Amino acid sequence: MSKIPITLKWMIAIASIIIGIIIILTSFYFLKDHQYYRWIKWTGNILFFAGIILTPFAKESNEDM
């Protein structure tokens, strides 16, 4: 429905999933003793789930306009 290209929607969704996974794994392995471990891990979780939620919306086509 929007004018944003489908490939850009896919890139944003997949990039947020990958960045979320990297943040989660980095916080799990390297920042376990860090003061802000929980906040960093939640940031990764939010990015990961936002990417999963955005992925179905990337399949919308622009042909209806």
Question: Pseudo-torsion of CA 10, 14, 19, 21, nearest 10°?
Answer: 160
Higher pLDDT, 64 or 32: 32
Q: Calculate what percentage of the chain has a pLDDT beyond 90.
A: 20
Task: Look up residue 17 and give its two tokens.
Answer: 């999933």
| Distance in angstroms (rounded) separating the CA atoms of residues 12 and 51 | 8
What's the pLDDT score for residue 16?
Answer: 92
CA atoms of 37 and 58, how far apart (whole Å): 32
pLDDT at 23 over 70: yes
Please report the pLDDT score of residue 58 as a whole number: 66
For 56-65, write each residue's pLDDT tens digit: 776 665 555 4
Supply the pLDDT for residue 61.
Answer: 58
Task: Give residue 63's pLDDT.
Answer: 57
What is the C-alpha to C-alpha distance for residues 15 and 64, in angstroms, rounded to an integer?
27
